[in-house]
Amino acid sequence: MNKNNGCLGIIIGLFILALVIQILKLVFLNILGILGIVVAVIGICFAVTKNDSKFGLYWPIASIVSGLFLTFSWFIFREYLITLAFLSVFLFLYFLITTLTLAIRKSANWKKFSLLSTSLLVLMIIFISIAPDIDSNKSEVASSENNSNLSSTDKNTTTEKKTIETSNDKKDKVKQNDNKVETKKSESKNVAAVTTTPKKVQKKKSTKSSNRVPVTLTKTVDGDTIKVMYKGKEESVRYLLIDTPESKKPGSCVQPYAESAYNRNKQLVNSGKLTLEFEKSERDKYGRLLAYVFVDGKSVQETLLKEGYARVAYIYEPPYKYLSKYQKAEDIAKNKHSNIWSKSGLVTDKGFNGCATKATVAKKSNTTRKSIGNSSPKTNTTPPPTSGGTEFFANCTELRKKYPNGVPSTHPAYQPKMDRDKDGYACER
């Protein structure tokens, strides 16, 4: 009996401890809002006790109004600096009006209130100068809330999309000829809609572009990667939700249409003002920025997909903002058999098959020789495998000490567990 009571007491104690931790966590996360409530309650208590000071109810009212203003500001913005900035503005105006009123009445206390107003003015300027932009803060809060609400449905949507994709692949082969006619009609309707309603399109573009960050292009790496100046330093940007044939991956050949995708991407990103839009994870496992890329407000990803230079891929955290639009653009290229869709079996769920013809590779080498001049030809940076048996490395860090650029699946040191993206190349950078 005593043992049962002891176990029950431990369970109740752990439950109370967990409840206290949750309450403390809630208080800590909303400390300014709770502090405002405490200040307002103190003001109410002083007002009820009928303090007979020479200012009467002035300070209790100031306490109540300031506390309520602090609480509402916190739960509206949920950002410390923005909340304190608004509170300092309110208090500065409150005491400035008091100072002017006392000065008009020729009261001796107006000098004290003028010093207080000046101090609040300094605090107000400091908080406003270091506080983040309100619009960006609201968008971050909204996106985080949307992500938390949608995280519970991610698993269901991924399984549904897999079944839908398999069924759609079978239907596409049967309906290719019919879809050609339908896509032509839909394109003509879209052109007519754009020409008849330009004002609506402009409004939509203005709202979407508010979350986009202007950047400066420094280099086009390949069909789905560029380098830009972002926040004062050069960053690699990997295009969200698309994949183009590889042309510069160590240890692998140049894949069909890789050069065409690179040239088209280079043409697009150099044609106007470049902006980025982020969603969910800002970086991938290699430290590259993951972003939607726009030139003069037009999506580069959508253009590459529609013209058949890319496929929709890497759908890790659905739902995505532009996923359905990209899938429609990909369907247009499929129906037209454009570029990568002109050869059956070239595009797979894991990437692209085959290597480019020798003529294509020769063209590439000739163009690079012209641009480089008399420099020495580029050699393969991946060291040859050592002779005899397999090589074992505990992790990618140890493997890269010997093979800095990773190893292909045919290499003795290759291990499937080190090939996280399942592209047949382990520990690549």
Contact 326, 255 (CB under 8 A): no
C-alpha 376, offset from chain centre: 40
Name beta bridge partners: 348: 351
d(CA 122, CA 128): 10
CA distances from 162 to 169, 329, 421 (A): 11, 19, 18
Give me the catalytic one of 79, 235, 246, 259. Answer: 246
Exposure letters 222-247 (e unless 16+ CB within 10 A, then b): bbbbbbbebeeeebbbbbbbbbbbbb
d(CA 335, CA 328): 11
Give me the catalytic one of 78, 238, 264, 311. Answer: 238
Q: Mark whether 105 is an active-site residue.
A: no
Q: Mark whether 264 is an active-site residue.
A: no
Determine the straight-line distance between the first and last CA of the chain, rounded to whole angstroms: 63
Give me the catalytic one of 283, 288, 391, 400. Answer: 288
d(CA 420, CA 349): 15
The tokens for 201 are 């399109």
E-assigned strand segments in 55-198: none
d(CA 13, CA 7): 10
Q: Mark whether 246 is an active-site residue.
A: yes
- Catalytic residue set: 238, 246, 288
